[in-house]
Amino acid sequence: MGRILMRGALAAALLALSSGPAFAGSPAQGAKVFASQCSACHGNRANSPQAVGPRLFGVVGRHAGTSPGYVYSPAMKGSGLVWTTDQLKVYLKSPAKVVHGTKMPYSGLNNPAQLEDLLAYLATLH
Ligand code: HEC
């Protein structure tokens, strides 16, 4: 009886934690997704060097193709996109479909939960 009550309380607490207002995803889980899917090419700190890809510190809210010192493809530079979380979501599912001619060699993140977690994590990079 006591155990069942405790489980109920735990489930309610977890639900409260996971249903924040802005994002459904977990930044902590998203950090793991970033480490396994993105960090080979992208830095995540304000002072990360530009690498195979541009550093992604502060990416949420910035205009595509504008990280200083990184040489973008003409496609990315001219895309006119702004990296809102909604735009990032669409892009990261299938980069080459959204920015035709991008040089980002990544086929896309198809796991919806991982994508939500990753977006929640990217939003913490500022
Ligand atoms: C194999 C290398 C590689 C991987 C893996 C990779 N990227 Fe990229 N990414 C790039 C390159 C190269 C560019 C520059 C694209 C261009 O100029 O067309 C880029 C560009 C971007 C941009 C545009 C940034 C800007 O300043 O406009 C975003 C956002 C981005 N990547 C996010 C991600 C995320 C998130 C992941 C992980 C899910 C990821 N990338 C995985 C290489 C990679």
For residues 93 and 64, what is the distance between their CA atoms, to the nearest angstrom?
16
pLDDT reported for residue 24? 82
> Which tens digits make up the pLDDT trace of 76-107?
999 999 999 999 999 999 999 999 999 999 99
Mean pLDDT across 56-62:
98
For residues 126 and 117, what is the distance between their CA atoms, to the nearest angstrom?
16
pLDDT reported for residue 68? 96
Which atom of ligand 1 sits closest to the CA of residue 64?
27
> Which tens digits make up the pLDDT trace of 5-43?
666 555 555 554 544 445 589 999 999 999 999 999 999
Among 42, 73, 98, 126, residue to substitute to test ligand 1 (most atoms within 8 Å of Cβ): 42
Q: Is the CB–ligand 1 distance for residue 23 below 6 Å?
A: no
Distance, CA 54 to ligand 1 centroid (Å)? Answer: 7
> Among candidates 51, 50, 28, which has minimal Cα distance to 124?
28
Distance, CA 60 to ligand 1 centroid (Å)? Answer: 13
Q: Is the CB–ligand 1 distance for residue 64 below 6 Å?
A: yes
pLDDT reported for residue 8? 58
Asked if residue 67 lies in contact with residue 50, where contact means CB atoms within 8 angstroms, the answer is yes
pLDDT reported for residue 7? 63
